């Protein structure tokens, strides 16, 4: 590419399919939602453009129906919710994790997708609800990391800390000093004199 060509080159902005005509929201808002879903798919290594476009179209159509009900909502936020919900449902069905919390399904599903190398080996299988290859489903289930045993709640009874005879002797000495104010004053003066002697020795 020549210098003139590089100066005039501009990356093409994402375009929505002609059949996608939302009744509410602006095209700028829906293009922003498009970019958000596209970035989300790329983050999951879904790089096949044809499959990307198909999935984005489905997500935006569902988000547009919700936006018609409440136009005050953000199309981008709705699209993000829809892609998350679609992935949760798809992972739960594929991995037999129905009824599990969102966090558990999301972690198990993404780990399985990563370990199975699904986006590269089966580029059209992601979020496909009708024609999931049997070997892809098997690889996904094999990639699921099983959780460990549930944590058991136990009660711990506090026990006294045994520090040996030195802390006990020190405690008795401090009690005696507190009972004898004259002895305490004498010890403080001896400590003060010792500090002065050290300072004198170091500075002479």
Q: What is the pLDDT of residues 43-61, one digit of tens each?
A: 888 888 898 999 999 999 9
- For residue 48, being part of any structural domain is answered with yes
Do 182 and 136 belong to one domain? no
Domain that holds residue 54: 12-142
Do 49 and 106 belong to one domain? yes
| pLDDT of 18 strictly over 70 | no
* Res 62: pLDDT: 95
CB within 8 Å of 48: residues ≥ 6 apart: 119, 123, 124
Do 138 and 179 belong to one domain? no
Do 63 and 103 belong to one domain? yes
- Encode pLDDT of 74-118 as tens digits: 999 999 999 999 999 998 888 887 888 888 888 888 888 888 888
| pLDDT of 15 strictly over 70 | no
| pLDDT of 151 strictly over 60 | no
Last residue of a domain, one of 125, 142, 159: 142
Average pLDDT over residues 120-135: 85
Last residue of a domain, one of 142, 163, 191: 142
Which of these ranges, 29-38, 155-164, 176-185, has the smallest mean pLDDT?
155-164
Confidence of residue 7 (pLDDT cuts 50, 70, 90): very low
Provide the number of structural domains found in the chain: 2
């Amino acid at each position: 590419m020549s210098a003139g060509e590089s100066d005039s080159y501009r990356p093409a902005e994402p375009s929505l399919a002609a059949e996608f005509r939302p009744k509410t929201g602006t095209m700028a808002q829906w293009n922003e939602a498009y970019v958000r879903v596209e970035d989300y798919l790329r983050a999951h290594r879904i790089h096949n453009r044809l499959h990307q476009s198909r999935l984005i179209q489905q997500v935006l159509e569902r988000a547009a129906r919700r936006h018609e009900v409440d136009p005050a909502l953000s199309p981008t936020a709705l699209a993000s919710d829809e892609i998350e919900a679609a992935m949760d449902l798809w992972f739960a069905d594929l991995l037999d994790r129905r009824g599990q919390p969102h966090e558990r399904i999301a972690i198990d599903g993404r780990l399985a997708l990563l370990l199975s190398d699904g986006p590269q080996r089966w580029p059209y299988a992601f979020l496909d609800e009708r024609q999931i290859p049997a070997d892809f489903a098997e690889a996904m289930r094999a990639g699921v990391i099983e959780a460990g045993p549930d944590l058991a709640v136990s009660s711990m009874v506090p026990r006294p800390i045994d520090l040996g005879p030195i802390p006990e002797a020190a405690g008795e000495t401090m009690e005696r000093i507190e009972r004898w104010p004259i002895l305490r004053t004498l010890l403080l003066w001896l400590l003060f004199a010792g500090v002065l002697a050290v300072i004198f020795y170091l500075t002479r």
